[in-house]
Amino acid sequence: MTLKKTFPKILWLIISSSIFFIILYFALFYYTKKAEKQVYANSVEHFDNEVSKLLEVNAKPILVAINNDTNWDEFVNFIKDRNVKWYNESIGNELNIYEADYLGVYDVNKKFIIRTETPKIKSVDFIPKAEMDLLNKVGINKFYMKIPEGIVEVTGAAIHPSDDPLKNKTKASGYFFVVRLLDQKFIKNLEKLTSSSIEILDNYADLNEEKNKIRSLSPLKDYNNQLVAELSFKRNFAVYFENTTNLLYVIIVAFFVNLLVNLIYTRRLVYYPLDLIRRVLETGNKKAIRELKKTTGEFSYIGNLFEENSNQKIELIKAKIKAEESDRLKSSFLANLSHEIRTPMNAINGFTELIINTDINETEKLEYLNVIEKSGKNLVSIIDDLIEMSKIDSNQIVPNFAVVNLESCVNELYETVKITIKNKAIDFKLIKSKTPAEFNILTDDIKLKQVIINLLTNAIKFTDEGEVTFGYEIDEKRDLINFTVRDTGLGIDEDNHKNIFDRFKRVDSDISIKVGGLGLGLAISKAYVELLGGTISLESKVGVGSTFYFSIPLKYAKVEHIVVKPINNIELIKSEEEVILIAEDDNINFLLFQKMMQNKNFKILRAINGQEAVDICINNPNIDLVLMDIKMPLMNGFEALEQIRPIRPTLPIIAQTAYSSSDDKLKIEEAGFTDYITKPLNRERLFELVDKYLRKKNENEA
């Protein structure tokens, strides 16, 4: 009787336990499948978002560039006068800027005017006329279409004057289109950008689902919003739930063999991991993911998958924030650049018009001309900073180490800067070194001077009254030269210290807006210091002032005591019928030379190209000095110099160039020019060079 009574209980226990385990089994199976679907769905969603964002980033430069070009008054004029030379120089050479294969221009009547293309695209005038009607409404539009060469991405924009680019869309002056061929190169670049494999599918293609792959489809639509094709992005998705499913089958079979043992460990091995999965799926709990990773078997693997999924979310958020920040900085920089360029240009144009069109006395005229000169210098400074930053970004800047007399270098900078701040109530001092350089050093003196000039310029800008000092000390124990630039000016808030050397960033304040600038000076200085092998840092408090420190390696040239060279002012001399040849193809620049020298007793000859300059030098032995433009037709300045030097080895030949970087200056010196002067021309510098080399020539002849 006892066995009969006990057996049903045991049987019931077995049955109830089996039912309980089966329920647990199906619950585990359900949550596993749910986890699989959830992880897969999340990954696909994130992949779609990532592809969409990256495609927007890929198209953004073209949209910004085409918006700038089509709001250009000269482009409007081209539609009317069809000046092909202007088009080739200003628009036709922008294929590399757009990274495009075809540029096309149409007039207001939708008639084809001109194109610029790569060998990839032979087709001409393939833009639908209806698209131009659409541009009258929307201004800018991007669409896709098929041409004989394949599928192309077309970005079009209506051409408008700069003073009213959007208000009168129905009165466009013409239409401009940028075309990219979706060829193998385009696909490869896009694959690299998106870290996926890409196929172009026609709109009838059937997609076969692939195991352990995720896919995102980006439709390519024409101007009528009709599907032309689709871009299929495919990426590996290494999630393997089959092992989990097989393990579940093994567990349910083993249960009947090890029922009693399994009952003891059910909660720890099954229920707890399932609860963790549930918490992760419902809330994304990071603590639950960590605990799930600590479990054994496939649950730990699922925990790794959840962690990977969570990390992907974080990376996507970071990428989005970074992209938005980059876009914001670029937009802010472009707006700031536009403002900084238009400000001096407004002054130049405005005061020039006042001089031409109004009756003014000589005092006012001189005042206006001073404003024009100052604005021109500001504009050149902005352009120089942009070019230098571009060269730094493309790794084109290399240090040119030479023997430098450090004491003379610092004294020269002091004398130069002191002259420029006579109108400010600033006590400007050069702090004499306690441990001066006893020997010449090896460094790039041009870049070193530029760093010090940038820091001093900033200090003077933000110090209306007070003290600005600079100096250096030799640290032979650590083989360093430590420079200090200190001011008692505005100061910088501590929150801005970490970004002060970043390009395009500057401290926003009323004084910053007043003094202007692109925020590139400190970024260029930091790049130069690091190029020389050094470091730069800052200490600053608002209302107290700022101190910039930078150090470069100490390298003595040779053990030879140095003597500080004095700074001498050059006395200008009046010439007596010396013959000067000016090689200049631009009429306005030549006129400027003539006007500058009209009070001097020079005989001026002109060559309009390099070949003519060579012929004149050969046939006129009385020429005393040559001002040689670098960029000229037929033969440039370098080529002309090569032919003149063997015939007239002692003839002073001064290069005049619009190239102003340190590398360009080094190239001019290495070519064998006697000296150089940069454009825009400085009258005092011009007379200084002319008098110097004419005096030297006269002394040699005497």
Q: Please state, in angstroms and rounded to a whole number, the distance separating the CA atoms of residues 501 and 138.
A: 40
pLDDT of residue 5: 43
Quote the number of domains for the chain. 5
Given 311, 344, 364, which residue is the final one in a domain? 311
486 and 503 inside one domain: yes
pLDDT, tens digit, 9 for 90 and up, residues 597-655:
877 888 889 998 889 999 999 888 889 999 999 888 888 999 999 999 988 888 999 99
pLDDT, tens digit, 9 for 90 and up, residues 114-127:
999 988 898 888 89
What is the bridge-based pairing of β-strands 545-553 and 535-541? antiparallel
On whether residue 316 sits in a domain, the answer given is no
551 and 423 inside one domain: yes
Range of 621's domain? 576-701
pLDDT of residue 572: 36
pLDDT of residue 483: 93
Count Cβ atoms below 10 Å from residue 322 Cβ, excluding itself.
10
301 and 198 inside one domain: no
Residue 173: φ, ψ to 5°: -85, -15
CATH number at residue 178: 3.30.450.220
Coil, helix or strand at residue 148 = coil
Given 393, 414, 434, which residue is the final one in a domain? 393
Residue with the bigger pLDDT between 221 and 569: it is 221
Residue 539's H or E segment, with its range, is strand 535-541
256 and 224 inside one domain: no
Both tokens of residue 74?
């000269």
pLDDT of residue 176: 92
On whether residue 568 sits in a domain, the answer given is no
Cβ-based burial of 386 (10 A; exposed 0-12, middle 13-18, buried ≥19): middle
pLDDT of residue 469: 92
On whether residue 317 sits in a domain, the answer given is no
649 and 685 inside one domain: yes
On whether residue 483 sits in a domain, the answer given is yes
Count Cβ atoms below 10 Å from residue 685 Cβ, excluding itself.
11
Q: Where are the alpha helices (DSSP H) in 358-464?
A: 362-393, 406-420, 445-461
CATH number at residue 469: 3.30.565.10
C-beta of residue 79 within 8 angstroms of C-beta of residue 97: no
On whether residue 637 sits in a domain, the answer given is yes
On whether residue 569 sits in a domain, the answer given is no
Given 365, 393, 421, which residue is the final one in a domain? 393
493 and 622 inside one domain: no
Count Cβ atoms below 10 Å from residue 378 Cβ, excluding itself.
19
On whether residue 669 sits in a domain, the answer given is yes
pLDDT of residue 285: 74
474 and 590 inside one domain: no
On whether residue 413 sits in a domain, the answer given is yes
pLDDT of residue 385: 64
Over range 227-244, report the average pLDDT. 74
263 and 352 inside one domain: no
383 and 408 inside one domain: no
102 and 192 inside one domain: yes
Coil, helix or strand at residue 149 = coil
83 and 222 inside one domain: yes
Coil, helix or strand at residue 281 = helix
pLDDT, tens digit, 9 for 90 and up, residues 435-448:
787 788 888 888 88
480 and 602 inside one domain: no
Is residue 25 over pLDDT 80?
no
Most trustworthy range by pLDDT among 320-334, 444-458, 615-629: 615-629
pTM across the whole model: 0.39
C-beta of residue 159 within 8 angstroms of C-beta of residue 98: no
